[in-house]
Structures are given as C-alpha cells and as structure tokens.
Structure 1
Amino acid sequence: MFRENEYKILYKRILFTCLIIMIYITGSNIPLIHQIDIQRKDSSFYQIAVSNTGGDISSLNIFTLGLGPWLTSMIIFSLIAYRNIDKTARQTRSEKHYKEKLLTILLSLAQSCFLLNQYVSKEKIDSENIYILLLILVTGTMLLVWLADQNIRYGIAGPMPIVLVSIIKSLSQQNWLQLQTSILVIMLIICVIAVTLFVLLFMELIEYRTNYQDIMNFSNQDIKKYLAWKINPAGSISIMISISVFVLLSNLINMGVNVAVPNHQNNSFLLNFSHPIGITIYVLIQMFLGYFLSRFLLNTKNKTEEFLKNGNYFIGVKPGAATSIYLNKMARRICWFGSIMITTIIAIPLYSTLLVPELSQQIYFAIQLIVLVYIGINITETIRTYLYFDRYKQLLDKYW
C-alpha cells in the first residue's frame, strides 16, 4: 500500500520545481538594455559571486540581482532571533515574512543603485529611465523571492534549485578550457578539486553522536539512544549568504566612496577579490556567519527544554542548567569545526589567485564547481527526506 503512493508527492514537488526553474530561465533571458559596460577589475569573480545567489550581471535582466538581498535579510533576522529565540517563536509566519520582505526591498534598492551606477554606461540610457530600471530590478527580485518561497512550500529545496541553475549558466559562459599552463599544474588542480569534494561529501555524511538515557522508557534499555548533529549544520546556505552579505557590503561602501569622492580612481576600494584585504574580510564573514547560522539551526535551548520535558539526560550531567551548558559547549565545538573547515576550503583557492594570477579563471571555476556540488548534495538530502516521509504519509495522516 505504501509503495503505490511512495513517489506521488515527490513527483508533484519535482514538477513544481521544474516550473519555477523554467520561469527563472525565461526571466533571466529578458534583457532590459542592450549592453552593460563592465568597469571593475575584479568583474570575473564578482560575476561568479553574484551567480552564486541566483543573479547575473553579464547582462541586465529581470532577475539580475538574484536572491542576494533576500538571503541577506534572512541572515540579519536570524542573527537577531538568535539573541531572543523565545520572542521570535511568538511571532507569526506573516509577521516574519513582512519584516523580511520589507528589508529585502530596501537592500535590493541599494544594490540596484550600485549596479546601475557602476555597470551601466550613462550614454546608453536616458536619466529618466533610471527610475524605471530601478523599479524593474526591485520588482524582479521580489518576484524571484516569491518563486523561491513558493518552492519551499510546494517544491524541493527552496532557493537552491534557482542558485543551481544560475551557477550552471555561469559555468557555461566561462572560457575556463583555455588553459595557458603545464599539464602538471592542470593535474594538480584536478586532484585538489577531487580531494575537496571528498571532504565536503564526508562532512555531509558524518554525524557527531552523543549517547543519552531515557528514564521514561525502561523496556528498551539495550537500545542506545543518541543525539545526532551534523558536522556542518548550516550546509551550503552559509556560502550563499556570506557571498550575498559581502557583495552588499562592497556595494554600500563603494557607493559611499563614489558619493564622497566622485572622481575617485579606485572605485573598488579594498573590498574585492583581487586584494588580500577583500579576501580576508570575506573569509571572516563566511566563518562567523557559518558559525552563528549553525548555532541558530541547532537551537540548544529548545533541545534542553525537550530533554527536561521528556526525562532524557546525559550520564554525569544534571538536567536543566547543567544540560544547557553541556549542549552549548558541544554545539560550539561542532559549529566552529564545521565553519572553519568550510571557510578553509574556500579560502585556500581564493588566496591562491593572488599567488598565481594567471590561473585565477580556473581557480574561480574550481570554487564554483565546489559550491555546485555542495548544493547538489543538499538537494539530494532533501529528496531523501521527502522519500522517507512519503513512504509513511498515509499512516502519519491519521495522527496529524
């Protein structure tokens, strides 16, 4: 009985996600103007960074900004909620969405202003049309956010399929095959990518397990119960959010510099991936955001209350405050380890572009391939979760 309907809901979700992807591809191929004048020296990786949030600055289209402003607003409210989880839990879904969308509009407006100021030649469009382009870019971003939100409810993996398609599109536009280096260096790059992907897969599969006792269930004392946490709870979402935050921070600082010093020659300032300070700032953003997002997802406070309510305890640890201290200590260790590992995997190739500039395009390709595979792993895990629940849906519906 279960096998007959096992994949029915999953197929519906896959079809809905395919519809979302088709809308995204159609919108990303509707140009707003004929040409964009790329002026920044670090435009190569800047385009890749934007594509990792579903955007595309190679041509000005409806979805050029991607999901960057939305991801940034999500992490801002997540960090706020981390300070007061109880207050956030009392908010309704509509209240949370209203605040997120309002901040998303403000962030997308700021990023649109920077994009038009830096990438669009003033001779190609009239000054009156700037406001129309701003409206279209902000509206396109909010439409893409709505599509991602609908995919969370009725599709698979929320915004990740959109980002996946954006990265594939960006990879197809790169001339990474034109290598001007030796075979030995090429083989070394391939080996490094293979090792990195193996480490990422290993981190996604392994769990940190801690045994605990259940005083409410004496019948199955021989069966060990454990609390399982992933080594990197934040997954690939931390990479997308960190890139979005860095791009937004770079945009705001560059806009401030342009307003204060209109004839400033170095408009890119230091917040770009061709300067060690810019890379270091991004690495720090990735590390701290990955840690705090992982801590937010683990939610040790709720886990402590759940243990106290269900009569669960760790051997040698008293219930209540002692359990909270124990879980926080364990969560800090896990989250810092996972965040530092992911940050190191991204930081090494980024710093390598400073040492070997002629291989920067190939190194950027390697970074994007790593992110692509990481997102693919998370989508696969989501599909496996749907398969698990679909198998027992008819049984669970009787009690839900």
Structure 2
Amino acid sequence: MRELIKRSFCSIIIIFIYEIGTHIILPGYLVQAYQSPDFMESISLVTGGNLSRLSFFALGLGPYMSGMIFWRVIQSLNKDRFSKINDDTIYYMKATLILLIAMIQSLGLSVSMKNNITFFSNTELNITLATFVFTTGAMFTMWLVDLNMEVGIGGPSLLILIGILSRLPKITWSFIQETLINHPTMNSVISFVVVIIGIVLIISVISFVLGSEFRIPVTRIMIRNELAVPTYIPIKLLPANAMPYMFGLTFMALPQLVIPLLKNWTPFLQGEDVTNLTSLKTVSSICLYLIILIILGYGFAFVNVNPSEISEDLLKNGDYIVDVLPGDDTREYITHKLMDMATVGNVVTMLLLGIPLFMSLRWEQLSSFSYLFGSLLILNTTIVSITDQCRALIEKNHYPSILANKF
C-alpha cells in the first residue's frame, strides 16, 4: 500500500508538470488563434497533445508513439541482433529515433502554422523557433513517460487518459449547446438522442469485447492436472486492444504534418492537397483509415500475443496443447487461433468506428462524436490497466510466506 501511495504521488506530480507544459505557448505570447479541425482535435485527444494551442507539448505523445511503432518493426526484423545489445544502447537508439521523428513532425507543424506565428518578423526564424520548442517538448514528454514508467503508475497511457478526461467535458458541453440550447431543431434533438443511445450501446459493446477471450487449454506434465487449477492460453476477442486506434490516428496525421514541409522543397507538390485524403471527411479517407486500422490490428495482435515465444516456453517446460504436437505445430496452431480472433476483433472495430464516421458525412453535427468509440476504448483499457497495476501493488505484499516463521 505504501508503494502504491508513493507511485500515485509521483504520477500526480508528473501530470501536474505535463499540464503546465500544455499551457506554455510559444515565447512572447504572440501566437494568433488557431482553430483545429475535428480530425486534428481527435489527434490531440489520443496523443495527449493540444494542436489547438501552439504549446510546449503541442505534439503530445505523437513522436513517441510513432517511434515505438518503427522501433518494434525494426526490432522484429533483427530480433537476434537486438537480443545481444545491452539496455542502455537500446534506450539511446530509441531516443534517437524518436528525436528524428519529433524534428520532422515539429518542422512540418511549424511550416503549416507559419502564418499563425508572429514572434519575429522573419518567417524562417519563426519556423526555427517553433520547431525547436515543439521538438524539445516532445523529448521532454518522452522523459516524463519513462519517469512515470519507473516511479509512477500507468506508463504512457496515463498522459493519454488525462488528455481524454480533460477534453471530454468540453466536447460534451459544446455538443449539448449546439443541439439543445443554441439552435434547437427537430433534427438536432434527434441527433442528441441518437448519440446518447449510441454511447450506451458502445459502452456495452466495449465491456463485452474487452471481457471476452478464447482459452486454449494447456496440459502440464509436472503436476496432476485433475487436482490443479486449469491452465490455459488466453487470447482476447480484441487482442490488439486500443493500440490500432491510438497509432492509426497518428499515422493519418503524418501527411498533414510532413507534406507542408515537403512542399517547400519539392515543386510538384505545390498544388497537391492531402487534406481530403487524411481528414476523414471523405469516403476515400475513411476507407484508408479503416485499412490502416486493419493492418495495425493484425500487427499489434502479434505484438501482444507472440505465438513463437509461447510455443518455445511450452516446449522448454514440457507442457503441451492436447492433440497438437509441440514446437512448430503448436506455434502454427496458436497463430491460426490468434488470426481468427484478430479478424473478429477487426470486424467489430470496423463496424463501431466506421459506422459513426460514415454517419458524420451525412450529419455534420455528429462529427465531434465520430471518434467516440476509439476514445472510450482507450479510456476503458487505460483505466483497466491502471486498476490492475494498483491491485498488483496492493496485493504483492499480502501473499503468505512459503517458509515457516522459524526460518
């Protein structure tokens, strides 16, 4: 209990520091008002940043999350090589990758917002200053995440959770004002009722999906199985959890942050507009987004449940799955079951994410809530993760001693 209180106190301090950083805008307080579209607001929601205010932590966890994706891909392609590298070297390699991504995203954001930054009369100096501030904020965020993982609770998800909780009341109140207070009409009232019913249904579905899992029974040869607690390999109905949604929006934001930078260097991109392709306001952009979610859904399913590692552990311990040969056959069996569950999870995600997005094309007042499923999914999984961590900290010192007191 004492450790939980200590870690909670450290996390509160980290949250306090992060919230201060989100309210520190570019030097001089000479940043013109910038209104983010709903898509960029949703990016801010899942990364913990704030693109509606050019602040120290405007990018939030965006560079960190993007860096982790690329790092996992690189690591999976060179698994044997990275297994021989010490932790300090791996940490510096990760930090360098995140730094490069932060610089690219910061420079792209600064170029796209150059007309809103008026600290200097020289545009190049404004861009340089903004890039430096955003990059520094992104790396400071990475340090806060690492610090929270070491001495706090919740890891990187905690900052995302705070970002969602701090913005949901504002989004909810603005929707109520728009539909019921400022301009009440029959269509707006119907929209309000539809959203409330949708929220109830989505929360019910999320609770069911996150609590559902497929269990593969495992036979252990070192104990009498008829007397032991049943052992199994759990595979969740949504094996990727909320990771595809969190990283999918980050990927969709990359073109809007990078293309403005490339336009200055590449003449043939001068007349190109990527907004329609990534804004989630067109059928093509929504379809692209759903395809990205499907790919990430399968990818993160194998990150969270690694069939190769599970089959190797079973083989080393002498355990096995009934009617399945140890080794490669076990790995293929687990892979097949994981693919089945990931497919079902992707279908559920496509329905619960795709339907609101397509509905927002017809009813614009629903655009603010078209990302509701993903936000609630992140909220639910983050709360469950933090709750499990707190429970583990409370119960870890309450196990009975194996040895007698006299020893």
* Higher mean displacement: 287-296 or 79-88: 79-88
Q: Tell whether 2:118 aligns with 1:124.
A: yes
How far apart are the structure 2 equivalents of 1:73 and 1:297? 18
1:245 aligns with 2:251: yes
Question: How far is the alpha carbon of 1:349 from its aligned partner?
Answer: 1.3
Moved more, 133-142 or 197-206: 197-206
- TM-aligned CA deviation for residue 275 of structure 1: 1.9
Counterparts in 2 of 1:358-373, with a 5 A limit? 358-364=365-371, 368-373=375-380
Q: CA RMSD in A?
A: 2.6
2 CA distance for matches of 1:285 and 1:393?
48
Aligned to 1:176: 175
- Distance in 2 between residues matched to 1:393 and 1:108, nearest whole Å: 48
Q: Does 1:101 align with 2:95?
A: yes
Report the CA distance shift for 1:211/1:369 in structure 2 as closer, same or farther (over 3 A): closer
CA contact (8 A) 1:305 1:320 kept: yes
Tell me which amino acid in the other structure corresponds to 1:110.
I
**Equivalent AA in structure 1 for residue 149 of structure 2:** I
What residue in structure 2 maps to residue 113 of structure 1? 107
- TM norm structure 2: 0.86
1:191 to 190, 193, 197: 197
Q: Which amino acid aligns with 2:299?
A: F
**1:297 matched residue in structure 2:** 304
Report what 1:74 is aligned to. 68
1:137 aligns with 2:169: no
Q: CA deviation at 1:46?
A: 1.1
Give per-residue Cα distances to partners, 1:129-175, cap 9 Å, x unaligned: 43222112111110011101111121111111111122233334442
SS of the counterpart of 2:24?
A: coil
Shift of 1:195: 1.3
Q: 1:53 aligns with which of 47, 53, 59?
A: 47
| Aligned equivalent of 1:166, options 160, 163, 166 | 163
Change (3 A) 1:383 1:395: farther
Separation of aligned partners in 2, 1:132 and 1:123: 10
Distance 1:334 1:385 in 2: 28
Residue 313 (1) aligns with residue 339 (2) = no
Q: Distance in 2 between matches of 1:390 and 1:256?
A: 56
Deviation of the 1:266 alpha carbon:
3.9
Q: Which has the higher contact order (CA 8 A, sep 6+)?
A: 1
SS in 2 for 1:214: coil
1: CA distance, partners of 2:359 / 2:305: 33
- For this pair of structures, how many residues does the alignment match? 388
Look up the match of 2:149.
152
Unaligned runs of 5+ in 2: none
Say if 1:189 and 1:298 are closer, same or farther in 2 by CA, change over 3 A: same
Q: Secondary structure at the match of 2:234?
A: strand
2-side partners of 1:367 and 1:293: how far apart?
A: 16
Alpha-carbon distance in structure 2 between the residues aligned to 1:314 and 1:370: 32
Q: Residues 257 and 267 of structure 1 are in contact (CA less than 8 Å); yes or no, is this contact kept in structure 2? A: no
CA distance in 1, matches of 2:342, 2:80: 22
Q: Show CA shifts across 1:85-137 (max 9, x none).
A: 44443333223222221111111111112212222426723232432221121
2:281 is aligned to 274
| Structure-2 residue corresponding to 1:285 | 292
Check the 8 A contact 1:204/1:232 in 2, yes or no. yes
Letter in 1 for 2:64: W
Cα separation, partners in 2 of 1:236 and 1:228, compared to 1, 3 Å: same
Aligned to 1:3: none
Which stretch has the larger CA shift, 268-277 or 135-144? 268-277
1:212–1:314: 8 Å Cα contact kept in structure 2? yes
Q: How does 1:300-379 map to 2 (within 5 A)?
A: 300-364=307-371, 368-379=375-386
- Tell me the distance in 2 between the aligned counterparts of 1:192 and 1:123: 40
1:176 corresponds to which letter in structure 2?
Answer: F
**Cα distance between partner residues in 1 of 2:288 and 2:134:** 28
Give the distance between the partners of 1:87 and 1:302, measured in 2 at CA: 17
Query: 1:282 Cα deviation (Å)?
Result: 1.7
| Matched-pair identity in % | 26
- 1:213 matched to 2:219? The reply is yes
Structure 1 residue 325: Cα displacement:
1.4
Secondary structure at the aligned position of 1:209 is classed as strand
